[in-house]
Amino acid sequence: MSAMCSMKIGNKPACGCSHRYCKPAMISEFDPVETRLENGFSVIEASAGTGKTATISAIVLRLIAEQKIEIENILVATYTELATAELRGRIREVLAEARACARGGKAKWSFIDAIIARIADRKEVERELERALHNFDEAPIFTIHGFCARVLADRAFEAGALFGTELVTDQSRFLNQVADDFWRAHLYGDDKVLAALLRERLFPARLVELLIELTNNPALRVLPPPENQAELKKNIAEVWRTLCDCWSKSAQEIRGLFSNIAWAKGNHFKREVVDARLAAAVECIGESRNAGDLLSCVEFFSAATLQANTRVRGITPRHEFFDRCQELSDVARRFVVSFQSEFCQWAREELRRRKADEQVRSFDDLLTRLDEALRRDDQLRNGLRERFRVALIDEFQDTDPVQYSILAQIYAGTNARVFLIGDPKQAIYGFRGADVFAYLEAAKLADRRYTLGKNWRSERKLVDGVGEIFRQRDDGFVIPGINLVLVQASGSTDEAPLTIDGQRDQPLRFWIASPEQKGNIPRVVAAEIARLLVAKTTIGAEKIRPSEIAVLVMTNAETADIQKALSQFRIPSVVYSAASVFESREAEELLRLLLAVAEPTREKIVRAALATELADFKASELEKLFGDDSRREEMLNRFAGYQELWRDKGFIEMMRKFVVEEKVRPRLLAYTDGERRLTNLLHLVEVLHAACVENRFGIDGVIGWLTKQISERREIRDEYELRLESDENAVRIVTIHKSKGLEYDITLCPSVRKEPYRARDLVKFHDGDALVLDLEEKAENEKLRDREELAELVRQLYVGTTRARHRSYLVWPDRPTKSKSALAWLLSSTASAEAFLEKKGEPDTGLSVRDTFAGSDAIAVEDLPEAGGEILAQSPATQIPLAPRIFTGKIDRSWRISSFSSLISGRTEEPETPDYDAAGAEVETAEEAAVAAEGIHAFPGGMRAGTCLHLILEELDFTDLSQLRPLVTRKLADFRFENFDDAVCEMLEKTLRMPLGEDGFRLSEISRASRLSELEFTFPITALTTSRLRKVFQIDELPLAIDRLQFAPANGFMKGFIDLVFERAGRFYFVDWKSNWLGTDASSYVPQKVGAEMTRNFYNLQLTIYTVALHRYLQQRLRGYDYEKNFGGAFYIFLRGIDSRKPSNGIFFARPPHKFVQQLNEVFHGNAPARN
């Protein structure tokens, strides 16, 4: 944290310097009952199983009971919603137990009794605890992001936060837009040679990867700085010309140099490979065609490649052509690096600007905005310190520099108490931006450092066995400052030990697998689980259950093999994985299905859909089906019917019908992993439906979105993670990352041989405390990257070996090849991690494991067993009775979400979407009549046209009409409206320049900062009936055909979308855009006809609902709001009727009387309107 050098944590400068105060504090054991809770920063290292949650709860209890600090002033923060819920529940339970103890009872946990016993005045402590429980809902127990969001909301003025910003969980749309736009702006239209050279290394998806790294790591430093791109392009062109000249002059000579390849080693220059490359050179360089292989061809013939593949005594071929290939390869690489570096410089700020323009923010923005606000505002820092007098930060090893900076900004250099609780040995979320170096910096600079000394999770011998593995090296965790802390087993788990047939043996078991057994490991794991379930395996007196066993895997890819093996033994299992549902087989199959629905006349695509497991046609069945003309026609018509349903009723209705009509549920559930398959399919349908609603997708939009989700690397949102099947009494299959914080009675790790290097990884490493990304991928920096990845693999191994309470299995390969895995490192005698990685690790031999742990009474080493075992019969206790549950309750059908659409349709379920005008028979009439019209009156009518115009107006900057035509052209193309660019541009320009209101202002004067588009509202309603609405409208004699309005009584909420809200001169107005087609010329939009249209479609009712919504919104958001002074009115603008020669055409304006708005508001609250 060198950037924080001016701050102080406790009495120490936070600079990482050699100042005498910067020496790490002495480490002592923390006793939750006895240790003094002193001012300053305290770091508590909580090794696996040492009671971290209980410790946090004990500290909170002591702060309340001993020091009279109110629960509202104690900040508790952690890193996930699940952990937050667990902490909140545990702290509440501890406080309730303590209150009972203060009243004379005995608490569930002994530490509570000990804390309460130290307090003399039991009545007073009872009152303090009673108050804490009474106010517990106000307890600031948050995720880190939740804390930032609360501060930005509560102290928006001091923090400089914008009102009305939307928190988005998925910013991939912005990431892709930024990457695509930069790529197009800098490479689109460049010559074929440059494009071919860069295709393999430079593409928008690669830029998205970089941008994800930048958003995950806001403090990331990127190397090297960009070069002059124009100069590099020029160099590439010059070298390319030289290379082509050289080939044209010397092609035969160059071929001759490869007539004898005895000089080459390995397989890189095998005869067939050389011949293929020479043929490619003829096409790519000699004939300048088929440029797709250009870069690989140039690199193959580069001088460095030839040298690297020459035998020890071989003579490397020499030629000017090879030097030119090397030169072109080098300059192309420099261009790629420079291009990416320039993108990184530009993209950070551009991403931020685009999100600000659309008034959205991501979780990462919460952190950076609060950090920036704290840096500039003393009042904000002081206010937060006063509000949160004590802070406890859980899982602090998963912090990052920005989060640490926020804490330091608030508390550094003060007497506040801050407890940082975590375990650097369990820091395994580097891929999410967590930075263990931030933890180490905090630990180095803390006033006090503690450890927790007792393991409450595992049997004594299992604790000893884990210690034996990680004590093999003093530098086992690679990074200085991360060390194995010796802990003692509490003995509580040994009171009910695990026994098999009444016997206890070594609880940590290594299985040594020969190379031939590698493919059989999943089945052996399943067989052992079956053996444990069939044998007399007990914990205390209780028989082991499947749900108490977990298989811990290193990667998501391993889960399918394990689940398949378990199903072969009829062992139920459930997968806990951080994988995206878009990585599943079902995502690919659903895409094939949707493509067939989109194009039902293309037989090949329909065949592909029918071949999926969703339809499950065999090849022979498909041949019969498509060989019979009548059956073929019937099937194609069926898919055409699904397409029609999708267009008419939407994606979700089409999928519902498909699943029922095609019997998808029983078909999928017939598979052994059928529950998993069905869960994935239903999850995908739900996610796609949400995307349809959010983005207003049509058929092509849905397919394009799903294709992108499957093919591109994206941030995995929580809602996209694979969901659980039924997890009742099933073996857990869990990735190491998902298992952190969890515990199981028995764990099996079928693979602990994961290596740190992956060829396409970014080269990230730490330079001091700063995280650096090296785009040049220098060899020395790759070594630093590999060292840090090795360290993380050791931490993953630690997490995996510490999840078990009673028994743990580790599978280790017995093979002579070298391995850079975590266990190979721990068992290595190599002097340092650098030397270990330099020599590419150690051989994976079972001998090293056997020798190391020979004679251990905690660790057993044995050969991988045979994959025998009994297939489990489903016991009566686990059989599911196939009877439906009987519902005996009563459904209140009046409680629903209502909308203007549902009120006028009379239906109780009418989804409220942005109002994009009528569809149906009237549209057909309009479209027929429009053929004879001209200009904008010839533009088609209906919902599609309305959607198109609304989106243009939503995206358009009214004050900058220079962007109007390109925006209109793009949107009309998206919606397949041809030859209307001029008409639409003219109409919209007239609309924005038309004088409005008494003082004649124009919409073209309204900036983005003064407007909100598509403002969604929801407000409560009670006992809303037709008669009550009729009364309030009759009292005020507003023009509304109210007698035609019929709907069922409604309770719940009123929901809607206002097209545009804007502010001008302190008054707020709203606009509803109407694209309704009323006739073939301007005379159809005179005030009388527009008024009739307003009455006929109940738009006056819509206007008053929107007025009440905006009135309520302004009451909450605008200090000193007054309807008469601040509410300007409503414009209903019929876009086709706007005529600069007739200003009254196409515009309906209304400003309902304040009294009427108050009465209507009362009606929505369930009160009868008062008579005048």
Residue positions annotated with a catalytic role = 1072
Residue appearing with tokens 């010559």:
191
Q: Which residues sit opposite 575 in a β-bridge?
A: 733
**Angle, CA of 270, 275 and 280, to the nearest 5°:** 125
d(CA 966, CA 959): 15
d(CA 529, CA 271): 51
d(CA 1025, CA 1169): 12
The radius of gyration of the chain from alpha carbons, rounded to an integer in Å, stands at: 35
SS3 annotation, 414-463: CCCEEEEEECHHHCCCHHHCCCHHHHHHHHHHCCEEEECCEECCCCHHHH
d(CA 981, CA 1128): 33
Comparing CA positions, the residue from 731, 734, 730, 706 lying closest to residue 720 is 706
d(CA 439, CA 791): 15
**Structure tokens, 757:** 């290097």
188 CB burial (10 A radius; 0-12, 13-18, 19+): exposed
Which DSSP state fits 580?
B
Contact 129, 136 (CB under 8 A): no
Q: Which residues sit opposite 859 in a β-bridge?
A: 508
SS3 annotation, 448-511: EEEECCEECCCCHHHHHHHHHHHCCCCCCCCCCCCCCCCCEECCCHHHCCEEECCECCCCEEEE
**Structure tokens, 1150:** 């209304």
Comparing CA positions, the residue from 1090, 1076, 1095, 984 lying closest to residue 1038 is 1095
d(CA 614, CA 664): 6
Neighbour tally for 215: CB within 10 Å: 23
d(CA 858, CA 461): 5
Contact 157, 353 (CB under 8 A): no
Residue 1169 Ramachandran class (φ > 0 left, ψ -120 to 50 alpha, else beta): beta
Q: Which residues are CB-neighbours of 879 under 8 A, at least 6 positions away?
A: none
Q: Is the dihedral of CA 30, 36, 37, 41 positive or negative?
A: negative
**Structure tokens, 471:** 């004590």
Residue appearing with tokens 């989109």:
598
**Structure tokens, 1054:** 């009123």
d(CA 328, CA 300): 12
Contact 214, 220 (CB under 8 A): yes
d(CA 427, CA 433): 11
Q: What strand order describes the sheet that includes 221-223?
A: 221-223, 770-774, 764-767
Residue appearing with tokens 């020979």:
854
d(CA 145, CA 150): 9
Contact 872, 530 (CB under 8 A): yes
**C-alpha pair distances (Å), 108 with each of 111, 267, 430, 661, 772:** 9, 68, 37, 55, 49
Contact 108, 101 (CB under 8 A): no
Alpha carbon 971 to its chain centroid, in Å, reads 29
